[in-house]
Amino acid sequence: MPLRPEERDAIAAQRTLQATTRRTTVEQLEEVLYEAFPVLDHGFVRVVDYMGSDTAIVQAARVSYGAGTKQSRQDAGLIRYLLRHSHTTPFEMCEIKFHIKLPIFVARQWIRHRTANVNEYSARYSILDNEFYVPAAEHLAAQSTSNRQGRGETLKGQEAKRVLELLRGDAIQAYNHYQEMLNEDINGETLASNRQGLARELARMNLSLNFYTQWYWKVDLHNLLNFLWLRSDDHAQYEIRAYANVMLETLKRWVPLTYEAFADYRIGGANISAKGLEAIRRRLQGENITRRDVGMSQSEWNELNALVGNDHSD
């Protein structure tokens, strides 16, 4: 578990708290509230607050005062309709706040989703922990030859060993130099009394992007679904996908009807162009067509065939 003893104690204390409320709560999410779910080697995801439920989506769609309909099947049908037809406003009525510990390079990719409220740990005021991400051997991959932002084959043997040595060695040295420049330990105690030390906001520049940071990330359900759709996809970078997959389990607990519709229409569904639909229709009618018949590029044609499980190469 990637938690230090003091972190475990703080979370255990939070989980003993009880409160009475008139607000709608979700029992399955309450069961894991504040609990830290491990991600990567030192990271975690935990829910620290939320507002709303599947019922809140239904209420917003109908602008009603009641607790939705009496039959969950009717609620599920409405939620599926809303998601299927991109009626997104009712999903914005629900919000959730996560506490996330993640490598800095993952955070810099994550922050491109400019649809959440974020407050990050400040290395101007505090000293970063000596915790850095080193990939497991099976996630060490060479640069893809066909995708400029993707990975290719996994590194093996001495090459993989050397990369791991470099990652660990560089991070250890960077933190040692960071601490030397600060002249402080993690508790703020002075290491050498004969010198002042560099300002924290300057010393932090020496740390590499695999060091861990933390933030609170609050987002409405509509934008959370967009984030999870993109970042849980097989084409997403492994490290951010690992966080998205944990958050999908949270989504399932929080809004199970929405999760079911989301898994069907977004994760398991597909966005097909007008030309792609034309190709599918004509194939269903028995035509043996090529990409030129519908005016598709080779890459579009290949993607369509991969999507429908067809081996037509042209």
Which residues are known catalytic residues?
A: 231
**Is-contact 230 216, C-beta < 8 A?**
no
Q: Which amino acid is at 260?
A: E
User: d(Cα 200, Cα 94) in Å, to the nearest integer?
Assistant: 38
Expressed in angstroms, the distance from the first to the final Cα of the chain is: 50
